[in-house]
Structure 1
C-alpha cells in the first residue's frame, strides 16, 4: 500500500496551542473532535500533517487516552484523519471537500465583484503615460530588455536603499507583473516532486505557480501576527523545501503584518537552513494606520532572502510591471531563463512605471485614503448587518478576512451571486481545501458598491441560515458617499 502523504509532524504541545480553548460542557471526546475538525478546516492544523500519538496528545491536553482515541476515531470516520498501521495519523479532508474552488470570473451586470482585490486606475496615469510617450523615441531600438529598463531598475533600487536595504540596479529584475516574478523564481528553484512552503491561507495564484512548476505546496498556518514561526522552522527541518513563499506585509488575505523581530528570525532561518525565502511586498505601500513595515530584506546581505514587488496595488493593476530583488547572480539567471516564454516587459509600460515611481515614495496620492475609507465603511456595514461575523481590522492592505463561525464559505459564495455579489470562498486561499469558515472581503470598491454588497451578503446569509433577513437600516445611507 502507498505511504500516507505526510508533509510534517506536529507535537502534542503545538497541537494544544493550535486548538486553544476547546473544552465545553458535555463529553470531552465530542468537544475535542469538534475542535480538531475546526482546526483542520481553518488551516491551523494543516493538511498532510502527522498528528501526535494518542498518549502524547493526552498528556499535552491533560485528558485520558480514551478521550483521544474516541476523538481520533470520530474524525477518521468522517475523513478528517487518515491512519495506517505503522504510518501514524494524518490530517486530511473528506473526499467531497478536496476540490479547490476556481475563481468565478469577472464582472456581470448588476454584480458587485468582490472576487478581485484591486483599485481603479488613478488620475495620475494619464500624465505619466503622456510623459512616457514623449520619452519613448529615445528607447526605440530593438526594445528587447530581459533585465528591464535601466532607468526603472535604478529607480526601484533607490527605493529599496531608502528603506534601509542597500540595492544596486544589477540586483533588480523587471518582470511582467509580480505574478511573473513569482512564477520565475518558483520554476528556477522547484520542479516535479519538490516541495514549496506557503502560508495557509495565502495568495491564490502563488499556489497556482507552485503547482504549475510540478512542485507540491506545503502549507504553514498564518494568523493575526503573521506566519507561525515555530511551525515554519520545524517544517523547514522536516520537509527540506526548495523554496518558501510569504507575504510579510498586510498579508493577502488575512491582513497580518510581520513585526521586525519576526522578519529578522525568518532571515536567520533562511541563512541557517540555506532555504530561499521569498517575500511578496506588493501590498507594502498600502499602510492605512501606524508606521510603515520594515524592509523585508533587512540589510540586503542575505542571498537567500528574495523580495518581489509591483505597481499593481500601489498604482494600477492594468500596468503589468513587477520586479524581483535578489543577488545579481539570481537576477541574471532568471533574465536568461525567461527567454523561453518572454523576451522582456513592454518598454512603454516600464516608462510609465518609471514616471509614477519617480513621483514620490509609497502609493499613488489618494490611494491610501480611498482604501482607508473603504475599510472603515465595510467594517461599519458588517458590524451593522452581520454582527455575528468576527473580523480583525487590518492596518493596511486591501481586504478583510472574516470568520463566519461556521464552515459554509463555499455555500455562502454560491448563494451570494444570486444576490448580486461575486466572492472567492475561503478554500480558494488554501492548499487542498479547508478554510470553509473564512471569507475574504476586499474594500477596494466604491462605498456605494460596498453597501450593495453587504446588503446582498446579508440576504444570502439569511437564506443560508434559514432566518428572515433584516431590512437595511436607514442610517447606513450616510456612509455611501
Structure 2
C-alpha cells in the first residue's frame, strides 16, 4: 500500500488556510478532499498519522483529528486501528455529495469533441479489417502498415524515418510510461517542465525517478539558464519536454533553444523525449516547427488524442532501432500490443490529418477568443495570457487560492483542476488551467461557474505577503 508522509502532504497543501472562513479543521479537510478528488492523492494511499501531520503543520492534534473525522464522515477516508487512514471515494448510493454529481461540466479535461472524420475513418477501417484477421494481434511494435504511415509523415516533415524506428502505442501516455520504465532506474534524475502534464510526472516517479523541474511561462517560455544548470548539475538520464504548444502554458520553444537543448543532452548522455501531442495546433498562422529529432538524437511521441479525438486511444513513438527494440521487449510486462482496428483507423486518419488540423485550428481560435472576451468581462482581475497555440489558457487568478477555487467551482457545477495539479510540491496556487476546447455556449457555462466560485472564495479579504508570491515559479 502506498503511503504519504506528513512532509509530503504538507507540501501538497501549501496555503490551505488562506481565505478560510470557517474552522481550521474544515479548511484542512477541504484541501485533502480536493487532493483525493483530482488525483494528487491516489485512492488507497495511507495518509500520515494524526500526530505526525499535526507536528508538521504546527497544529494541535485535536484539529487534525477533527479534519480526519470530517473526511471519514463524508466518505473520503477509511480508518482502521493499526492500519492508519486510507484515501477513498464515497460509496455510490444514498445521498451523493455535490462533488460527485454526474451532470457537472468537466473542465479538468482539455479535450476536443470527435472530428467527423473519425466515424468515416472507422467505417473504412472496418471494411479493411477482414484482410488482417489472420494476424495474431499480439505485436509489441504495431502493424507495419501503421508504422510505415507514421514514418512517411515524419519523412514529409523533414525527418527521414524507417518503419522499424516507430512503435505504435495505446496513446502518448502509454509511450511515456514505456520509456520511463525502459530507461530509468530508481534514483535516476529526470528533467521535466514546471508546470507540466501531471500524468507525465506520475509516470516518471512511478519508474523511480527524482524529478528536476525547469520553469516555463506563457510569456517567457523556457528558462534557458535553469535548463543549462539542470543538465550540467544533475546529469539526467531522461528529459521529458513538450516543446510545441506546451500544456498548460501554450508556449512553443524557438529553434535556437532546441538546438541548445540537443547539445546539452548529448554532452550529458541524456535521452530527450519530445512530446508532440499538441503539435500542429498553432492558432495564429505561425509556422509549425520541424520535429525535434531533426536537430539531433531525440525520441518523438505523438498521438491523435488531443487533435482528433480522445476516445481513439492510439499513439506512437519514433526513436532509434535499438531503443525501439528495448521498449518492445519490456512492453509485454504491461500489455500485449495495440488493437488492430484502432491502428487501421489511424492509417485512415493520417491520410487526412492536415485537413483535420486546419479545422481544429479554426475551431480553437474562435473558442480561445471567446474565452478571452468572457474572462475580461466577468473576471477582469484575472490575467489570461496571449495564447498562440494549444488547447488551454494558463490563467493567473491573482491570489494563491486555486485549490479553494477548484473546490468551490464543484459546488457551482464545474469540475476544474487546480493549478497545483500541474506542478510539483504544491506550486501554482496562483494559476488555473482553463481549456478552450469547448464551444462558446459551454465556455459561457464554465465562466459563469468560475465567476460564482470566485465570489464565494473571496468574500474575506486576503493579506498577500512576499512569501505568497515566492510560491509561483
- What TM-score does the superposition give when structure 2 sets the normalisation length? 0.74
What residue is the counterpart of 2:130 in the other structure? 137
Instruction: Give ranges in structure 2 of 5+ residues lacking alignment.
Output: 1-6, 8-55, 59-86, 91-97, 462-473
In structure 2, how many angstroms separate the alpha carbons of the residues matched to 1:365 and 1:250?
Answer: 16
What residue is the counterpart of 2:35 in the other structure? none
Instruction: Give ranges in structure 1 of 5+ residues lacking alignment.
Output: 6-76, 80-100, 469-481
What residue is the counterpart of 1:454 in the other structure? 447
Distance 1:219 1:360, change over 3 A: closer
Q: Cα distance, 1:102 vs. partner? A: 12
1:171 pairs, out of 165, 168, 171, with 165
In structure 1, how many angstroms separate the alpha carbons of the residues matched to 2:221 and 2:276?
Answer: 14
| Matched ranges for 1:112-191 at <5 A | 112-140=105-133, 141-191=135-185
In structure 2, how many angstroms separate the alpha carbons of the residues matched to 1:349 and 1:442?
Answer: 27
Q: Cα distance, 1:201 vs. partner? A: 0.2
What residue is the counterpart of 1:260 in the other structure? 255
Q: Cα distance, 1:106 vs. partner? A: 10
In structure 2, how many angstroms separate the alpha carbons of the residues matched to 1:463 and 1:106?
Answer: 16
What residue is the counterpart of 2:471 in the other structure? none
| Matched ranges for 1:329-348 at <5 A | 329-348=322-341
Q: Structure 1: which 4+ aligned runs deviate by more than 6 Å?
A: 101-107
Q: Cα distance, 1:366 vs. partner? A: 2.4
1:351 pairs, out of 334, 341, 344, with 344
Q: Is 1:244 matched with 2:239? A: yes
In structure 2, how many angstroms separate the alpha carbons of the residues matched to 1:205 and 1:290?
Answer: 30
In structure 1, how many angstroms separate the alpha carbons of the residues matched to 2:200 and 2:102?
Answer: 29
Q: Is the 8 A contact 2:412 2:449 kept in 1?
A: yes
Q: Is the 8 A contact 2:231 2:265 kept in 1?
A: no
Q: Cα distance, 1:365 vs. partner? A: 5.3
Q: Work out the number of aligned pairs and report it.
A: 370
Q: Is the 8 A contact 2:273 2:301 kept in 1?
A: yes
- What TM-score does the superposition give when structure 1 sets the normalisation length? 0.73
Q: Cα distance, 1:298 vs. partner? A: 4.3
Q: Cα distance, 1:452 vs. partner? A: 0.9
Distance 1:172 1:213, change over 3 A: same
Distance 1:155 1:208, change over 3 A: same
In structure 2, how many angstroms separate the alpha carbons of the residues matched to 1:115 and 1:398?
Answer: 12
What residue is the counterpart of 1:290 in the other structure? 285
SS of residue in 1 equivalent to 2:332 = helix
Distance 1:138 1:310, change over 3 A: same
| Matched ranges for 1:39-54 at <5 A | none
Q: Cα distance, 1:268 vs. partner? A: 1.5
Distance 1:108 1:257, change over 3 A: farther
RMSD, matched Cα: 2.5
Higher mean C-alpha displacement, 130-139 vs 224-233 = 224-233
1:445 pairs, out of 435, 438, 442, with 438
